[in-house]
Amino acid sequence: MSDLDFVSGGKPIGLERGEGTSLYTADGTEYIDAGASFACTPLGHSHPAVVEAVQEQVGDLTFVDSSYPVQSREDAYAALVAATPDGLDSAWFCNSGTEANEAALKFARSATGNSKIVAATRSFHGRTMGALAATWKDKYKKPFEPLAGDVEFVPYGDSEELAAAVDDETAAVILEPIQGEGGINVPPAGYLETARDCTEDAGAALVLDEVQTGMGRTGEMWACQKAGVTPDVLTTAKGLGNGLPVGAVAVQDWVAEGAASHNATFSGGPVVAAAVNATVSTLVEEEWPAHAAEMGEYLTAELEAALGDEIREVRGEGLLVGIELKRGANRVARDLAMNHQILALPAGRTVLRLLPPLVIDEAVADELVEALTATVAPEAQSDA
């Protein structure tokens, strides 16, 4: 376990096997994965469609670089482009969320000839030098400064301040449609439309970071679709390969023109491409985003009913759920793991984040609610 000491939030739980929403230790103890895998397994752990696609591909051809056409890569591009909003007609694969955002900012600079980036307070876009520069928290940034870029931060959710910050020197506005790491912050209605309008007027690129909100989690394949807004650049990763390390940038044509001199050795490797194709196709064909919408409503209503005044608020969309507690979220996450075998994540000091696989059913949702009630509102539970 000693290597875990290097990782913030390391937990002494040795996991060996996963299936659906469950994870198991070597001795067979079951944990419910309500977010501990950072939204990386939308179809649940070791989903058979993904496992089969990956096993077949790794045996046939593990890797050749992206200058050769390979069927699994072609299929992954086609599946991803078909699943993104109309207008996002090309995609580029990378290995993670931060790399997707790094590429997005480079593409926006190259396509606009500008360098200024507008980002939001409480944002999280990744930990490499460029994406980190657009990330809000000083704790993540300070030890590594100076970072790459010319980034202006505006208060998340404030349309007027956003519009005022965007001008003809702006390369990009980068936003999460709902902030994940920053506390599951849902912007007011009209915010993304304002972001769309002001970037369009200024000739800047709107980059929507859907690394956490995408892949069906909010009840649509992409959160921007709920707002009816198509960005110039959409970034995705986390759940894109249902657990394999892969990210992507989907772009409109005018941005794609600036992308030519960017690449990465492992871009769209055949094995991760097979995982992407299986994940995206299964999510779309089996309509898991709609299930996420339904289960999100169910879970939110049950949490509100059970936890009542013991918490401040339940917020989010679909299965991107934040519970604003009246106490520290780290401690609650730890109690849930150690006493109830529920793995959940904090998102900021007082917000507990639930990001279960989209395949969660009511029985598992009920278990989550019961464990949370026992942890944060034990009296409410004994009254019931």
Ligand X SMILES: *Cc1c(COP(=O)(O)O)cnc(C)c1O
What is the contact surface with ligand X in residues (CB under 6 A)?
Answer: 96-98, 101, 124-126, 176, 180-181, 209, 211-212, 237-238
Residue 38 Cβ, how far from ligand X at the closest point, in Å? 6
Nearer to ligand X, 70 or 108 (CB): 108
Which residue has tokens 């590594």? 144
Distance of CA 372 to the CA centre of its chain: 23
Residue 95 Cβ, how far from ligand X at the closest point, in Å? 8
Residue 103 Cβ, how far from ligand X at the closest point, in Å? 12
Which of these, 72, 165, 169, 91, lies nearest to 121 by C-alpha position? Answer: 165
Residue 124 Cβ, how far from ligand X at the closest point, in Å? 5
Residue 320 Cβ, how far from ligand X at the closest point, in Å? 10
Residue 256 Cβ, how far from ligand X at the closest point, in Å? 21
Any idea what DSSP says for residue 192? Answer: H
Q: Which residues of 119-144 are buried (b: 16+ CB within 10 A; e: fewer)?
A: bbbbbbbbebbbbbbbbbeeeebeee
Any idea what DSSP says for residue 355? Answer: -
Q: How far apart are CA 315 and CA 157, in angstroms?
A: 15
> DSSP letters along 116-133, please?
EEEEETT----SSHHHHH
Nearer to ligand X, 96 or 375 (CB): 96
| 109 CB-near residues (< 8 Å, 6+ apart) | 115, 171, 172, 258
Nearer to ligand X, 180 or 202 (CB): 180
Nearer to ligand X, 18 or 180 (CB): 180
Nearer to ligand X, 85 or 307 (CB): 85
Nearer to ligand X, 114 or 135 (CB): 135
Which of these, 193, 148, 145, lies nearest to 173 by C-alpha position? Answer: 193
Any idea what DSSP says for residue 93? Answer: E
Q: How far apart are CA 293 and CA 358, in angstroms?
A: 9
Residue 119 Cβ, how far from ligand X at the closest point, in Å? 11
Nearer to ligand X, 61 or 127 (CB): 127
> In 3-state terms, what secondary structure has residue 329?
helix
Distance between terminal CA atoms of the chain?
Answer: 40
Q: How far apart are CA 266 and CA 71, in angstroms?
A: 16
Residue 182 Cβ, how far from ligand X at the closest point, in Å? 9
Residue nearest to ligand X (CB): 97
Nearer to ligand X, 126 or 243 (CB): 126
* CA contacts within 13 A on the Cβ side of 302: 19
